[in-house]
Chain A
Amino acid sequence: EAQVTQNPRYLITVTGKKLTVTCSQNMNHEYMSWYRQDPGLGLRQIYYSMNVEVTDKGDVPEGYKVSRKEKRNFPLILESPSPNQTSLYFCASSLGWTGLNSPLHFGNGTRLTVT
């Protein structure tokens, strides 16, 4: 089944403890991205990647890192999480980024709480 898989679904951690949220897609998609969702703000892009070893900042990159060493994986790293990073996180992928009508395929989300 074609899908984007994020893990974990739920994560509670403490301020300053490094964590990684994994994301993997099995559709051979070139484009991958991370979003965070906060009430009233919709989804905002954190980082994106147009292909292996090509990553760039989105609208809200502070406090996050990503890597794209393989096409299928795009982990999100929080080196020193803070309470303002408590949010619902989505990984998404798309076959390409040149066609306007290419929809994003989303993972099921990771709900992160930082205390």
Chain B
Amino acid sequence: AQKITQTQPGMFVQEKEAVTLDCTYDTSDPSYGLFWYKQPSSGEMIFLIYQGSYDQQNATEGRYSLNFQKARKSANLVISASQLGDSAMYFCAMRERNNAGNMLTFGGGTRLMVKP
């Protein structure tokens, strides 16, 4: 079974609007972390935001916030006030405490395109 599922292969958003990128995960480990990475067309992987399984509050980093719903096993990324530079691939990833060797398990990604 897929550990990380991103059901939106591609999305469009109008500049200055907010957008939500979906991520669901599957784990039986009570201790885990969830990450979002951005990959622009230049190819590098840029760390955006982290949420721990025991964190009480949803993580926020500037225009990025993580809508963490533990019971539903979802960790959606919300980008507020989209900018043209937000056009990129976005990957959700998970780290499980009991799987130290594999630091991150990635989803298939969502390509976000911001329209001017």
Contacts and interface: CB of A to CB of B under 8 A. Distances in A.
Interface stretch (B13-21, B63-71, B76-84, B101-109): B101-109
Contacts of A45: 102-104
Interface in B87-116: 91, 93, 95, 97, 100-104, 106-109
Interface in A52-80: 56, 58-59
Nearest to A102: B103
Contacts of A103: 35, 47, 50
Q: How large is the interface on B (under 10, 10 to 19, 20 to 34, 35 or more residues)?
A: 20 to 34
Interface in A94-109: 94, 97-98, 100-106, 108-109
A97 B104 CA distance: 11
Interface residues of A, number: 30
A35 B9 CA distance: 20
B52 A43 contact: no
Interface of B: 4, 9, 31-33, 35, 37, 42-45, 47, 50, 52-53, 91, 93, 95, 97, 100-104, 106-109
14 contacts: A35-B106, A40-B9, A40-B108, A42-B107, A42-B108, A43-B93, A44-B106, A58-B102, A59-B102, A90-B45, A92-B103, A100-B97, A105-B47, A109-B44
